[in-house]
Structure 1
């Protein structure tokens, strides 16, 4: 499987799980199920059930501060999407469309430019983000 498809699967699986805990959950579920219904109708109902189960697990993991479970859930969906793309590579165009529809609306941030500067010394660390940031340290 080419690297571009693997990266698409990673982006899609990560986005699906991330959006499960947001107000965009229902749109996300509906978009993913509709995609599966078009490309693999016999599996669509099962995918819908798996999405709901994953969401329950994700919400419980977040409530308990269980970052490892959240990471595992993302990887599970990355694998599901990767297998779908391996079986039907032509679905990549539609998957990109679904992801674009699920992307959050851009917010008015003036010019849209972000300028950051940071310095760290010794054992110091710097974490900067122009938007969302997720840090998992071990």
Structure 2
């Protein structure tokens, strides 16, 4: 496998692992399930069986990753990332069309090529005087009671 595809697999695994602990996990999970399902559906599971299997594997990996991050266990976190990097490398090796799909997926998970995951980063500032009330700057706000 050439260096470009190896780097693509590594970038994909990095974006996936970052998404696992980020706010965009639900979307990222659906997209990654789709990516791997298209490659596993021909093994006799059928598309539904493959989707359930991949979703379960992703959920298990996310649980391991969250527990590892909580315990400050860098080795386990690295193992989770290495596992998905290897799976992506195999997908790229086995299916020539997978590279283009993984690039699109990577653009969705890390649109700025950065570490923020889906949606990028947001920087807000307030200027122009004194604010005499509550100011809330957020991507999503739910069930807020002020005062």
For normalisation by structure 2, the TM-score amounts to: 0.69
Give me the whole-angstrom Cα distance separating, in 2, the residues matched to 1:45 and 1:86. 23
Q: Which residue of 2 is the match for residue 40 of structure 1? A: 40
Q: Which residue of 2 is the match for residue 2 of structure 1? A: 2
Q: Deviations over 1:98-128 (max 9, x none)?
A: 1111223344569xxxxxxxxxxxxxxxxxx
Q: Which residue of 2 is the match for residue 105 of structure 1? A: 119
Unaligned runs of 5+ in 2: 111-117, 125-147
Shift of 1:36: 1.8
| Segment drifting more, 63-72 vs 30-39 | 30-39
Pick the aligned partner of 1:80 from 83, 87, 92: 87
Unaligned runs of 5+ in 1: 111-138
Shift of 1:86: 0.7
Once the two structures are superposed, the pairs formed by residues 111-122 of structure 1 within 5 Å of their partners are: none
Q: Deviations over 1:23-51 (max 9, x none)?
A: 11111110000112223224433221110
Q: Which residue of 2 is the match for residue 132 of structure 1? A: none
The answer to whether the 8 Å contact 1:14/1:75 transfers is no
CA RMSD across the alignment: 1.7
Give me the whole-angstrom Cα distance separating, in 1, the residues matched to 2:89 and 2:52. 19
Give me the whole-angstrom Cα distance separating, in 2, the residues matched to 1:17 and 1:107. 17
Q: Is 1:96 matched with 2:110? A: no
In terms of Rg, which structure is larger? Answer: 2
Indicate the SS of the match to 1:74: helix
Give me the whole-angstrom Cα distance separating, in 2, the residues matched to 1:84 and 1:29. 17
Q: How many residue pairs are counted as aligned between the two chains?
A: 110
Give me the whole-angstrom Cα distance separating, in 2, the residues matched to 1:47 and 1:37. 7
